């Protein structure tokens, strides 16, 4: 158990982080502003300090880092930041921060980085683990499919080539990227994740390559780009399909020459990094549409890795369920065979991310000692019938036709369930004729009830 100081000005975020940290067994003092934090820092010692970077419209987190380094000699400082301010986070690390956490942060990621900070504070080196057991590389599952994935990732880690990871949202593409990094010779260097869809198009080049003072209006000082921050390590470009074309040209040059030129500069700088990219899009289709450069696609696709959807490896779901429950702090909760079977048959369009959300819902609404299986029926009927938003459809790579097909199939299944398999009654519930429901079932690949 550690004494942790949390500084976060947004009340909702502060409350969530406080609950998460307490769930790991740590003591937390939560402050709403830098002034409260300085009072705490001047009156007691902490082992870990977690502070937001942006507060009250300024980089107040930097001031906390500097203040803490003066009177908290044994504390490790973790900085909460957004992608748009990642270069300032790197500056904070130079000032003495231990690491930075990109918002939004999951409970699992928060627990892991706190553990690393505590280990570093006590000068305890974690035991060297097999790559797929590393802190960020827990690709759970013993199916033949996952064994092949792990084998390919381990082979990829031995060579310094680019890797392109594809797969639906929630299949673990970033975990796969971390797996490669942690199993490689670059494991002790930075791993910098960048979500290409989270950076405004007009700031893309500045964020990746940096800029010099005066390069454009508002550039009042030099800025280190994310590529330079990843020098020696790995740059993970998540959702590479979202990268604008003008930035794709510069990325291609980096892959060819391993040199970067900040915006506004005439000087190129040599860098040494590995690039791993990921996408839920079909980049070959994007190439045909003219939204992604063909030459860049071939440069990235040296070692292709496809992460399978959870529905393609349902035999792994029990292991994943138990692992998630342990991470959430419920290692001993009872999960009946019937409940596990039900979990293993859910559609899980959002894959592991949706499975974790489902388990969190069950934990919140069930008794303390076991998961309530009846809640799964309620979840299944409500979640399946709910249409996705346009943004969710985009994230999951679904077309309008596919989404309409999913909704149609769900409604037909519900009608057949309510009518106990009577197709005539099901057709009446849906307001269509018997021939129409038979046609729809055939089109959707559904077996006719006996």
Identify the sign of the CA torsion 172, 173, 175, 180.
positive
Identify the sign of the CA torsion 258, 264, 266, 269.
negative
Yes or no: say if 327 and 108 are a contact pair by the CB < 8 Å rule: yes
Q: Among all chains, which residue has been given the structure tokens 């009518």? A: 419
CA gap 245, 178 in Å, rounded: 26
Identify the structural domains of the chain with CATH numbers, from first to last.
Answer: 3-121 (3.40.50.2300), 131-306 (3.40.50.300), 316-385 (1.10.8.60), 399-443 (1.10.10)
The pTM for the full model equals 0.60
CA gap 188, 120 in Å, rounded: 13
Yes or no: say if 307 and 146 are a contact pair by the CB < 8 Å rule: no
Taking only the tens place, the pLDDT of each residue in 246-302 is 999 999 999 999 999 888 888 889 999 999 999 998 899 999 999 999 999 999 999
CA gap 438, 441 in Å, rounded: 5
Q: What does the mean pLDDT of the chain come to?
A: 82
Of 119-123, 237-241, 436-440, give the lowest mean pLDDT range: 119-123
- Name which of 123, 226, 262, 236 is nearest 182 in CA terms: 236
Taking only the tens place, the pLDDT of each residue in 243-256 is 999 999 999 999 99
- Name which of 11, 13, 75, 14 is nearest 40 in CA terms: 75
324: left (phi over 0), alpha (psi -120 to 50) or beta: alpha
Strand order in the sheet with 3-7: 27-31, 3-7, 48-52, 76-81, 99-102
Q: How close are the terminal C-alpha atoms of the chain, in Å?
A: 59
Taking only the tens place, the pLDDT of each residue in 7-33 is 998 888 888 888 888 877 788 999 998
What are the structure tokens assigned to 440, written together?
Answer: 């729809």
Mean per-residue pLDDT for 180-185? 92
Strand order in the sheet with 234-238: 191-195, 234-238, 274-279, 163-166, 303-306
Yes or no: say if 280 and 395 are a contact pair by the CB < 8 Å rule: yes
Report the relative pairing of strands 259-260 and 269-270 from DSSP bridges: antiparallel
Portion of the chain with pLDDT greater than 70, in percent:
87
What are the structure tokens assigned to 448, written together?
Answer: 């006719």
The band of 394, judged by pLDDT with boundaries at 50, 70 and 90, is low
């Amino acid at each position: 158990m550690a004494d942790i100081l949390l500084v976060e000005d947004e009340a909702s975020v502060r409350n969530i982080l406080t609950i998460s940290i307490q769930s790991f067994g740590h003591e937390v003092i939560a402050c709403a502003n830098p002034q409260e934090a300085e009072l705490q820092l001047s009156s007691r010692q902490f082992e870990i300090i977690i502070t937001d970077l942006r507060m009250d419209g300024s980089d107040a987190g930097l001031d906390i880092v500097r203040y803490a380094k003066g009177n908290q000699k044994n504390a490790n400082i973790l900085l909460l930041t957004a992608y748009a301010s990642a270069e300032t986070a790197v500056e904070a690390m130079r000032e003495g921060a231990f690491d930075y956490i990109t918002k939004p942060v999951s409970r699992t990621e928060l627990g892991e980085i706190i553990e690393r900070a505590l280990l570093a504070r006590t000068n305890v080196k974690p035991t060297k683990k097999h790559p797929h057991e590393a802190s960020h590389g827990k690709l759970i599952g013993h199916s033949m499919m996952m064994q092949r994935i792990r084998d390919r990732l381990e082979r990829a880690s031995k060579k310094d080539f680019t890797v392109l990871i594809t797969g639906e949202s929630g299949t673990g593409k970033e975990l796969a990227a971390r797996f490669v990094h942690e199993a490689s010779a670059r494991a002790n260097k930075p791993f910098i994740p960048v979500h290409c869809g989270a950076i405004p198009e007009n700031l893309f080049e500045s964020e990746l390559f940096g800029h010099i003072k005066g390069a454009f209006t508002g550039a009042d000082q030099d800025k280190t780009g994310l590529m330079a921050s990843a020098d020696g390590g790995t740059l993970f470009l998540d959702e590479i399909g979202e990268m604008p074309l003008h930035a794709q040209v510069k990325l291609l040059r980096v892959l060819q020459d391993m040199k970067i030129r900040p915006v506004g500069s005439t000087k190129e700088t040599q860098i040494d990094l590995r690039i791993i990219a990921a996408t839920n899009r079909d980049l070959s289709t994007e190439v045909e549409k003219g939204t992604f450069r063909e030459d860049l696609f071939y440069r990235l696709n040296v070692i292709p890795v496809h992460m399978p959807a959870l529905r393609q490896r349902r035999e792994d779901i029990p292991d994943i369920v138990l692992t998630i429950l342990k991470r959430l702090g419920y290692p001993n909760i009872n999960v009946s065979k019937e409940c596990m079977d039900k979990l293993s048959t859910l559609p899980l369009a959002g894959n592991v991310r949706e499975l974790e959300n489902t388990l969190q819902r069950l934990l919140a609404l069930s008794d303390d000692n076991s998961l309530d299986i009846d809640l799964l029926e309620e979840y299944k009927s409500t979640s399946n019938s709910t249409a996705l938003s346009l943004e969710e459809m985009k994230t999951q790579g679904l077309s309008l036709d596919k989404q309409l097909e999913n909704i149609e199939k769900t409604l037909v299944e519900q009608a057949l369930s309510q009518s106990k398999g009577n197709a005539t009654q099901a057709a009446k519930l849906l307001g269509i004729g018997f021939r129409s429901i038979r046609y729809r079932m055939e089109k959707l690949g559904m077996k006719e009830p006996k």
